[in-house]
A and B are shown apart, each in its own frame.
Chain A
Amino acid sequence: MTTPVDLDPFARFRSVTRARIGLGRAGDSLPIRAVLDFQLAHARARDAVHGHVDFAAMADRIGKTMPVIRLKSRAADRSIYLARPDLGRRVDPAALAGVEKGDWDVAFVIADGLSAAAVEAHGEVVLSACVRRLGDLKVAPVVLGEQARVAFGDEAGEALGARIVVVLIGERPGLSVPDSLGAYLTFDPRVGRRDSERNCISNIHADGLSHETAADKIAWLIREALRLGLTGVDLKEDMSGATALPAPL
């Protein structure tokens, strides 16, 4: 029993679980490598939560191809945003005053949510992949939402007069995936919409749903929502040929 693989009694489980098993011990405590690995993962997750999306640079980039509107929520800073989700769900009225209603089929909102890293890594790519698939629809100016939660899109979409709003938002980071993006679709957006009236595509990240597959699903859902006049629990995603959502990690 001196083969190298035998040094790790848990070798057979390594391919079936990412759980931190068989870490070994220093006395009763974790060995230093395991402590530091954990701290690194937590640091990345924390940086994702407290990171800042460079919305100015993002507006410049997106602005080259389509109009952009920058809006803030009513949460003045990150600590208020985390403690008061009610404020993150509402648009700052001052910012809203400049938004004009239009005849739009769909509006996209890129919101920081709980992971700046997710928005920086995947927001624009998913946006343009979606827009490419929706060339025949009237797409509203892109909203960049700062300190914003999902329901922020209800008020922004209502102000724009959009038939449907798609919020691309940073998901709550875990230790294994700090940069997962989610997409929430709401038909006839207005303040007071319930979560059961939305559809969600989650786990858009390097080890999860690819940008192109996510865009396929989002575009399919947008067209179905416009056809049926609804989103939410009554709109089932049964897009043929689409791969199933991966399990959340």
Chain B
Amino acid sequence: MPSYSILLGRQRHVFDDLKAVMAAASPEKSGDRLAGIAADTNERRVAARYLLADIPLKTFLEEPLIPYEIDEVTRLIVDSHDASAFSPVAHMTVGQLRDWLLSYECTTAGLSALAPGLTPEMVAAVSKIMRNHDLIVAAAKTSVVTGFRTTIGLKGRLSSRLQPNHPTDDPEGVAGSTLDGLTYGVGDAVIGINPAGDNLEACVRLMELFDRLRQRFDIPMQSCVLTHVTTSIKAVEAGAPLDLVFQSIAGTEAANRGFGVDLKVLREGREAALSLKRGTVGDNVMYLETGQGSALSADAHHGVDEQTIEARAYAVARHLKPLIVNTVVGFIGPEYLYDAKQIIRAGLEDHFCGKLLGVPMGVDVCYTNHAEADQDDMDNLMFLLASAGVNFLIAVPGADDVMLNYQSLSYHDIVSLRHSFGRPPAPEFEAWLYRMGLFDSEGRLAPQASSVARRLIDYHPDVRASA
């Protein structure tokens, strides 16, 4: 591999290889420092960016950061690269791509056509030389639309995941958080619960709970129990009313192995869900979750920086034609993203990279209590992501997840963003909200004490119906 060097004033900065340039060019991340690959001075960081800006995009096709022979994600990226889609930018450097993305010539249609021609390493590289402003403006031009029972990602709309977690999966407790969220018009991307255990029976009970609710009120929605893909496959075999298959994924074969998955089992999960033919407006049946730092925590990063590995996870996602993908941006802890500055930056990077690759990106705007962040920082990030045209955001009651012990957005935040930006929920779900009387004629919320809201809140899920 060729080394890279640049003279800035009297200081020559030398980098061993392309992945060293990529790592050094990254904005400060505690995870890259933990891995020992971050730039050790501010000047060296900018030196790496000068170098990166002049590197031809083609270089990333010729010099895989993680060898083809040892990693199936690299093989997927290389083997599925669409050379003809790539041709409009094939002559460009990373810096020229950045300027083009921001130019008037770069349109939504152009970006959609380009997506299969871009690799994760290319989009990670260009994101490293883009300011937050650039990441927002360029992402806002993208459009990735998917469907199951609702259509998600349409321009001018904002969808949301309703997350009704409970520490013991108590059906009444889950129902309380779910019904609350529905009265806020939340849940059009998915009603998705993190089960307290990975037990098949408990997961199936939750699927049935959501499916009965859906049928009782005729809600155009999809639900998902966020259990391991192999458990979902078993649930399908057991005849459970499964809408979406969930799985956490990462950007290297070894990190995916840490999650107990490979491309083969992910494809099997997708096939299982497709076999049920439960979608009405589309057949995107996967819900995937990612987040910077997961490969490092599994010691499976091959010396590649955490943001580039994250972008590689989107190549895995793209392959599976998901309904939704979200980065759980601040969940993993301050050893990977130290403070609000790093969390906000990572959220914008992940959304931009995913969208450019053609992935239906959402974000869990969140943090843990040992990170240097608070709800004001989440306010900032959610408004920035709404400006960037994010497909969906996650919301939990009062922004406090009582099962996973971290903080996200509240149902209120989703309503607030929709009103501030004039972005209603998915059209099918929006029509249901009007039909139910949960939205008034101006698209505002009905009071929770109103008779229509009470009809919903007073609903008793028959928790023993299937026992």
User: In whole Å, how far is A42's beta carbon from the nearest beta carbon of chain B?
Assistant: 6
B164: chain A residues at CB < 8 Å are: 19
* Pair B30/A22 contact, Cβ less than 8 Å: no
Chain B residues bordering chain A, tally (CB within 8 A): 49
Give Cα A34–Cα B400 distance, bound, in whole angstroms: 11
Query: Does A28 count as interface, using CB distance less than 8 angstroms?
Result: yes
CA of A248 to CA of B197 in the docked complex: distance in angstroms?
11
Question: CB-nearest residue of chain B relative to A39?
Answer: B375
| B449 sits at the interface (CB 8 A) | yes
Tell whether, in the assembled complex, residue A16 and residue B167 are in contact, meaning their CB atoms are under 8 Å apart.
Answer: no
> What 1/0 mask marks residues of chain A from 218 to 249 whose CB sits below 8 Å from any chain B CB?
00000000000000000000000000000111
CB atoms of B180 and A21 under 8 A apart? yes
Q: In the complex, which residue of chain B has the Cβ closest to the Cβ of A248?
A: B167
Q: How many angstroms from the CA of A207 to the CA of B351 in the assembled complex?
A: 40
Decide yes or no: A83 and B400 within 8 Å by CB, A38-B375, A174-B369 being known contacts: no
> Which residue of chain B lies nearest to A172 when distances are taken between CB atoms in the complex?
B370
B454–A9 CB distance below 8 A: yes
Given the interface contacts A17-B176, A19-B398, A82-B335, does A247 sit within 8 Å of B412 by beta carbon? no
B369 in complex: contacting residue of A13, A23, A172, CB < 8 Å:
A172
Minimal Cβ-Cβ distance residue in B for A28: B416
Q: Which of A10, A85, A174, A247 contacts B168 (CB 8 A)?
A: A247
B367 to chain A: closest residue by CB: A42
Determine how close the nearest CB of chain A comes to the CB of B39; give it in whole angstroms: 16
Shortest CB-to-CB span from B216 to chain A, Å, is: 17
Neighbour of A13 across the interface among B167, B173, B449, CB < 8 A: B173
User: Out of B177, B335, B368, B449, which one reaches A19, CB within 8 Å?
Assistant: B177
Q: Are B369 and A21 in contact (CB under 8 A)?
A: no
A30 to chain B, nearest CB (A): 5
- CB contacts (< 8 Å) of A48 on chain B: these are 369
B397 touches A13 (CB 8 A): no
The winner among B335, B398, B419, B458 for most chain A CB atoms within 10 A is B398
Instruction: Pick the contact of B398: A7, A34, A83, A85 (CB < 8 A).
Output: A34
| B180→A38 contact, CB < 8 A | no
Is B453 part of the contact surface with A, judged by Cβ < 8 Å? yes
Inter-subunit contact B338/A21 (CB<8 Å): no
A19-B166 in contact (CB<8A): yes
The CA-CA distance from A25 to B445 in the complex, in Å, is 10
A85→B338 CA distance, assembly (Å): 12
CB within 8 Å of A: which B157-193 residues: 164-168, 170, 172-177, 180
Could you tell me if A16 and B172 are in contact, using CB atoms closer than 8 angstroms?
yes
Q: How far is the CA of A85 from the CA of B396 in the complex (A)?
A: 29
CB contacts (< 8 Å) of B173 on chain A: these are 13, 16-17, 19
The stretch of B146-154, B264-272, B402-410 in contact with A is: B402-410
Residues of A within 8 A of B262 (CB): none
- A25/B399 in contact, CB under 8 A: no
**Nearest neighbor of B453 in chain A, beta-carbon distance:** A9
State how many angstroms separate the Cβ of A19 from the closest Cβ of chain B.
4
Residue of B nearest to A18 (CB): B402
Interface size on A, residues (CB 8 A): 42
* Contact status B175-A13, CB under 8 Å: yes
- A46-B369, A82-B338, A175-B369 as given contacts; A10 in contact with B176, CB under 8 Å: yes
Q: Does B34 contact A (CB under 8 A)?
A: yes
Residues of B near A174 (CB, < 8 A) are 369, 402, 405-406
| Cβ–Cβ contact B172 & A83, under 8 A | no
Centre residue among B170, B172, B174, B370 by max chain A CB count within 10 A: B370
Distance (whole angstroms) from the CB of B292 to the closest CB of chain A = 14
Which of A13, A22, A39 makes the CB contact (< 8 A) with B172? A13
Q: What string of 1s and 0s marks CB contacts (under 8 Å) between B1-41 and chain A?
A: 00000000000000000000000000000100110000000
B76 within 8 A of A: no
Interface membership of chain A positions 102-129, coded 1 if the CB is closer than 8 angstroms to chain B and 0 otherwise: 0000000000001000000000000000
Q: In this assembly, does A84 line the interface, its C-beta being within 8 Å of a C-beta of chain B? A: yes
* A19-B177, A21-B398 known; A30-B170 Cβ under 8 A: no
**CB nearest neighbor in A for B418:** A28
C-alpha spacing A178/B374, complex, angstroms: 16
Residues of chain B within 8 A of A22, CB atoms compared: 176, 180, 448
B445 to chain A minimum Cβ distance, whole angstroms, is 7
| Complex contacts, B419 vs chain A, CB 8 Å | 28
**Complex Cα distance A82/B334, Å?**
6
Known: A42-B369, A49-B370. A17 touches B405 (CB 8 A): no
Is B196 engaged at the interface, CB distance under 8 Å to the other chain? yes
* Contact yes or no, B457 A10, CB < 8 A: yes
A20, A49, A83, most chain B CB atoms within 10 A: A83
Quote the shortest CB–CB distance from A10 to chain B (angstroms): 6
Chain B min CB distance to A241 (Å): 23
Query: B17 CB to closest chain A CB, in angstroms?
Result: 24
- Given known A22-B180, A28-B415, contact A249–B402 (CB-CB < 8 A): yes
Hey, which chain B residues are within 8 Å of A175, CB to CB? 369, 400, 402, 405, 407
Q: Which of A19-37 contact B (CB under 8 A)?
A: 19-25, 28-30, 34
Q: In the complex the two chains form, is B397's CB within 8 Å of A20's CB?
A: yes
What string of 1s and 0s marks CB contacts (under 8 Å) between B384-404 and chain A?
000000000000111110110
Is A200 in contact with chain B by the CB < 8 A criterion?
no
Complex-state Cα separation, A28 to B184, whole angstroms:
9
Q: Does A213 contact B (CB under 8 A)?
A: no
How far, in angstroms, from A84 to B399 measured CA to CA in the complex? 28
Q: Do the beta carbons of A172 and B368 come within 8 Å of each other? A: yes
B346 to A: closest C-beta gap in Å: 15
A-B contact pairs, 30 of them (CB 8 A): A9-B453, A9-B457, A13-B176, A17-B166, A17-B170, A17-B402, A19-B164, A19-B398, A19-B400, A21-B180, A21-B397, A23-B397, A38-B399, A41-B400, A42-B375, A45-B369, A46-B369, A49-B370, A82-B338, A82-B370, A84-B33, A84-B34, A85-B34, A85-B335, A172-B369, A173-B369, A176-B402, A178-B369, A248-B167, A249-B405
Using A28-B445, A29-B412 as known contacts, list a sample of 4 further A-B pairs with CB atoms less than 8 Å apart, ordered by residue number in A: A20-B398, A21-B177, A30-B398, A249-B167
Closest 10 CB pairs of A and B: A20-B398, A13-B176, A174-B405, A17-B173, A45-B369, A28-B416, A21-B180, A83-B30, A19-B397, A16-B173
- B residues sitting closer than 8 Å to A (CB atoms) are 30, 33-34, 164-168, 170, 172-177, 180, 196, 334-335, 338, 368-372, 374-375, 396-400, 402-403, 405-407, 410, 412, 415-416, 419, 445, 448-449, 453-454, 457-458
